[in-house]
Amino acid sequence: MYNKYIFGIIILLTFLVSGCYKSIQEVSKIELNRNWKFRQAGNSEYLPAEVPGSVHLDMLNAGLIEDPFYRSNEDSIQWVANEDWEYLNEFELDKQFLKNKNTFLIFEGLDTYAKVYLNDSLLLQTDNMFRQWKVEVSSFLKQNNQLKIHFYSPLKKNEEAAKKSAFPLPEQRAFTRKAPYQFGWDWGPRIVTSGIWKPVYLMSEQETQIHTTYFSTDSIVNGTAFISAEIEIHSEINKEIEIKILNDDQPLFLEKRELNIGESILKINFQIPQAKLWWSNGLGEAHLYHFNTIISVKDKIIDKKNNQIGIRTLKLIEKDDEVGKSFYFELNGFPVFMKGANYIPQDNFLTRVDSLKYKSIIESARLANMNMLRIWGGGVYESDLFYKLCDENGILIWQDFMFAGSMYPGDDHFIENCKLEAIDQIIRLRNHPSLALWCGNNEVDEAWHNWGWQQQFNWTEDQQSEIWEAYKLHFHQILPEQINNLDPNHQYWASSPKIGWGHKESMEEGDSHYWGVWWGKEPFSIYNEKVGRFMSEYGFQGFPANATFDSVLLPEDKYLYSSALKTHEKHNKGFEIINEYMKDEYKIPENFEDYAYVSQLLQAKGVGIALEAHRRAKPYCMGTLYWQLNDCWPVISWSGIDYYGNWKALHYQAQKVFKDLMISFEQQDDSVFVWIVSDRMENLDNELDLQLIDFDGNVLWSDQVKINIPSNSSQKYYRFSKKILPASFNPKRMLMYAHLNIPEGDIIDRFYYFSTTKELHLPKPEIKFQCSRISEGYEIIVETNKLAKNLYLEFKGITGRFTKNYFDLVPGKSKTLRFLTQEKIENPSELIKIKTLVDCY
> What percentage of the chain has pLDDT greater than the value 90?
93
Please state the φ and ψ torsions of residue 541, each to the nearest 5 degrees: -85, 155
- Separation of alpha carbons 578 and 598, rounded Å: 10
Strand partners, 770: 781
pLDDT at 537 over 70: yes
Supply the DSSP symbol for 274: T
- Separation of alpha carbons 418 and 426, rounded Å: 12
- Separation of alpha carbons 586 and 840, rounded Å: 10
Helix runs in 371-525, H state only: 384-393, 412-429, 444-450, 453-456, 461-473, 479-486
What would the pLDDT profile of 252-276 be if each residue is shown by its tens digit? Answer: 999 999 999 999 999 999 999 999 9
Closest by Cα among 214, 302, 227, 307 to 259: 302
pLDDT at 14 over 70: no
Residue 363 neighbours by CB distance under 10 Å: 13
Length of the chain: 841
CB-CB contact of 371 with 396 (8 Å)? yes
- Separation of alpha carbons 98 and 142, rounded Å: 7
HSE (side-chain half, CA atoms, 13 Å) at 436: 24
- Separation of alpha carbons 404 and 537, rounded Å: 14
768-794: average pLDDT: 97
Closest by Cα among 184, 202, 206, 205 to 193: 184
- Separation of alpha carbons 480 and 468, rounded Å: 17
Closest by Cα among 631, 636, 639 to 553: 636
pLDDT at 4: 40
532-547: average pLDDT: 98
CA-to-CA separations, 392 to 314, 371, 376, 714, in angstroms, rounded: 17, 12, 21, 29
pLDDT at 722: 85
Q: Residues with Cβ < 8 Å from 374, sequence gap 6 or more?
A: 340, 341, 342, 343, 397, 398, 400, 439, 496, 536, 625
- With cut-offs at 50, 70 and 90, classify the pLDDT of residue 19: very low
CB-CB contact of 491 with 446 (8 Å)? no
Q: Residues with Cβ < 8 Å from 555, sequence gap 6 or more?
A: none
115-136: average pLDDT: 98
Residue 839 neighbours by CB distance under 10 Å: 18
DSSP string, 182-225: GEEETTEEE----EE-S-EEEEEPPSEEEEEEEEEEEEEETTEE
- With cut-offs at 50, 70 and 90, classify the pLDDT of residue 405: very high
Closest by Cα among 238, 315, 231, 222 to 272: 222
Whole-number average pLDDT of the chain:
95
Q: Is 295 exposed, middle or buried (0-12, 13-18, 19+ CB in 10 A)?
A: buried
CB-CB contact of 244 with 267 (8 Å)? no
Strand partners, 241: 257
- Separation of alpha carbons 40 and 47, rounded Å: 10
CB-CB contact of 129 with 112 (8 Å)? yes
Closest by Cα among 616, 91, 25 to 305: 25
Closest by Cα among 765, 780, 774, 766 to 815: 780
pLDDT at 249 over 50: yes
- With cut-offs at 50, 70 and 90, classify the pLDDT of residue 23: very low
Q: Residues with Cβ < 8 Å from 177, sequence gap 6 or more?
A: 112, 127, 128, 129, 130, 131, 402, 417, 418, 421
CA-to-CA separations, 292 to 295, 308, 346, 402, in angstroms, rounded: 10, 9, 32, 31
What would the pLDDT profile of 721-750 be if each residue is shown by its tens digit? Answer: 988 999 999 999 999 999 998 877 778 999
CB-CB contact of 189 with 633 (8 Å)? yes
pLDDT at 307: 97
What would the pLDDT profile of 764-773 be if each residue is shown by its tens digit? Answer: 999 999 999 9
pLDDT at 16 over 50: no
Task: Measure CA 550 to chain center.
Answer: 26
Q: Residues with Cβ < 8 Å from 270, sequence gap 6 or more?
A: 227, 229, 245, 252, 253
- Separation of alpha carbons 406 and 444, rounded Å: 6
pTM of model > 0.75: yes
Strand partners, 85: 40, 151
- Separation of alpha carbons 404 and 233, rounded Å: 36
- Separation of alpha carbons 685 and 662, rounded Å: 15
What would the pLDDT profile of 166-196 be if each residue is shown by its tens digit? Answer: 999 999 999 999 999 999 999 999 999 999 9
pLDDT at 299: 86
- With cut-offs at 50, 70 and 90, classify the pLDDT of residue 797: confident
Closest by Cα among 373, 384, 379, 375 to 348: 379
- With cut-offs at 50, 70 and 90, classify the pLDDT of residue 1: very low
